[in-house]
């Protein structure tokens, strides 16, 4: 099978590529990534000499290039995105450009060459589940921040291309991921990194925002199972563990690092912050037999240990802005 992975140098895309090679023989993967925020070439360094792996530095918005490229593959997976909510609040434009126009560019090529398109979306597009039951794939979507609005727009485009042009496609909507090689600005790595530098850990608002989490390997295995067994035109929710508040996650990390809870610093909440995300993922379990394998406490401990042992991975990526306690107040356009 020949797979084009877009955004494969980021956190989830690179985990997908490494795991896919481990679990499948007879596979060729090309990774197309423009090496912007979230990317790190170190993530796939061990594949440099693998003749079945190829890297192309380019942009999914580059329509002519993308059209020529896509025709050589069986499956195209789109992980490429501007992915950080805080930055989207400060500067929405790159999110509109990559997450909407980039997806449009891929869809145009897909409809020309009839390839399977796997679009990696997010549970954030359902919006706030406060006082509601868990969202299913049929729930209405109510994105509340520029990031989730652009992801929702892309989901609509994929659905419209399926209905209008009959493209083959699968959309995944996953909860918050964690694991090794996640960019330092996201909650779990940022907490660990700030603590190693003896900085307090900022918690937005009261910290009672509820999320459910998934270990990144479980997410990419779910995508793998959908490539083989997913039904074209369908959306699949992906989640793993019980819901947990942001404050509790930070406290668990403090405990794992033997630090006092006094290291928490409450800061003003970010604008538009959803109180709770909650999805039901029985559809993927019934369709593909996929189930999460990793226990949350063990996976969190492994993740903390990975960051403590791999300073050389994250040190070059961080600066004051990256570790800022209210990143949405900064100008990220420069
Ligand atoms: N991280 C999560 O918790 C989570 C949860 C659910 C869904 N998702 C979705 O999964 C996907 C991957 O997320 P991630 O956490 O790995 O993000 P990431 O920011 O770590 O990686 C994104 C990758 O896309 C690349 N990219 C960005 N714009 C591009 C463009 N125009 N052309 C080519 N490449 C481009 C970046 O260079 C980077 O390597 C995203 O679509 C995100 O919306 C993430």
Q: Could you read off the pLDDT of 50-95 as tens digits, one per residue?
A: 999 999 999 999 999 999 999 999 999 999 999 999 999 999 999 9
Average pLDDT, the chain: 97
pLDDT in tens, 203-261: 999 999 999 999 999 999 999 999 999 999 999 999 997 899 999 999 999 999 999 99
Contact (CB, 8 A) for 314 and 193: yes
Q: How far is the CA of 9 from the centre of ligand 1 (A)?
A: 9
How would you classify residue 272: left for phi > 0, otherwise alpha for psi between -120 and 50, otherwise beta?
Answer: left
Q: Which two tokens stand for residue 321?
A: 């802005």
Pocket test for ligand 1, best of 14, 66, 83 (most atoms within 8 A of CB): 83
Pocket of ligand 1 (CB under 6 A): 6-7, 9-13, 33-36, 38-39, 59-61, 79-83, 98, 102, 120, 122, 151, 174, 176-177, 183
Angle formed at CA 213 by CA 159 and CA 249, multiple of 5 degrees: 145
Q: Which of 59, 86, 124, 251 is catalytic?
A: 124
Angle formed at CA 319 by CA 261 and CA 255, multiple of 5 degrees: 20
Domain range list for the chain:
2-182+213-242+276-295
Q: Three-state DSSP class for 85? A: helix
Residue 175 CA to residue 186 CA, distance in Å, equals: 14
At 242 the pLDDT is 80
Write the CB contacts of 33 (distance below 8 Å, at least 6 apart in sequence): 6, 7, 8, 9, 10, 13, 39, 55, 56, 57, 80
Closest ligand 1 atom number to CA of residue 60: 32
User: Among 285, 195, 281, 196, which residue's Cα sits nearest to residue 242?
Assistant: 281
pLDDT in tens, 89-144: 999 999 999 999 999 999 999 999 999 999 999 999 999 999 899 999 999 999 99
SS (H, E, C) 168-204: EEEEEEECEEECCCCCCCCHHHHHHHHHHCCCCEEEE
For residue 147, indicate whether it is catalytic.
yes
Q: Which of 59, 82, 123, 218 is catalytic?
A: 123
Superfamily name with CATH number, domain 2-182+213-242+276-295 = NAD(P)-binding Rossmann-like Domain (3.40.50.720)
For residue 123, indicate whether it is catalytic.
yes
Percent over 70 (pLDDT), the chain:
100
Global pTM reads: 0.98
For residue 82, indicate whether it is catalytic.
no
Phi, psi of 29 (to 5 degrees): -125, 130
């Amino acid at each position: 099978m020949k797979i084009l992975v877009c955004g494969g140098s980021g956190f989830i895309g690179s985990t997908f590529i490494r795991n896919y090679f481990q679990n499948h023989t007879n596979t060729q993967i090309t990774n197309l990534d423009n090496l912007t925020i979230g990317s790190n070439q170190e993530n796939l360094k061990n594949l440099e000499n693998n003749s079945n792996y190829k890297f192309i530095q380019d942009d999914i918005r580059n329509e002519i290039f993308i059209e020529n490229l896509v025709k050589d593959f069986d499956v195209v997976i789109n992980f490429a995105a501007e992915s950080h909510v805080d930055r989207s609040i400060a500067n929405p434009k790159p999110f509109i450009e990559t997450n909407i126009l980039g997806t449009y560019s891929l869809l145009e090529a897909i409809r020309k060459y009839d390839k399977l398109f796997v679009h990696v979306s997010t549970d954030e597009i359902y919006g706030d589940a406060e006082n509601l039951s868990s969202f299913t794939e049929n729930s209405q979507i109510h994105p509340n921040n520029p990031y989730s609005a652009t992801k929702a727009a892309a989901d609509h485009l994929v659905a419209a291309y399926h209905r209008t042009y009959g493209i083959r496609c699968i959309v995944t909507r996953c909860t918050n991921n964690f694991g090794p090689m996640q960019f330092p600005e996201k909650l779990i790595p940022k907490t660990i990194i700030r603590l190693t530098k003896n900085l307090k850990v900022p918690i937005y608002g009261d910290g009672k925002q509820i999320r459910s989490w998934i270990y990144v390997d479980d997410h990419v295995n779910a995508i793998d199972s959908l490539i083989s067994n997913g039904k074209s035109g369908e959306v699949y929710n992906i989640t793993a563990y019980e819901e947990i508040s942001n404050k509790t996650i930070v406290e668990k990390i403090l405990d794992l690092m033997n630090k006092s809870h006094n290291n928490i610093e409450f800061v003003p909440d970010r604008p538009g912050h959803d109180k709770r995300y909650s999805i039901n993922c029985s559809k993927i379990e019934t369709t593909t037999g996929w189930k999460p394998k990793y226990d949350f406490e063990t996976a969190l401990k492994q993740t903390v240990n990975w960051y403590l042992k791999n300073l050389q991975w994250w040190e070059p990526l961080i600066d004051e802005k990256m570790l800022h306690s209210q990143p949405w107040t900064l100008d990220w356009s420069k």
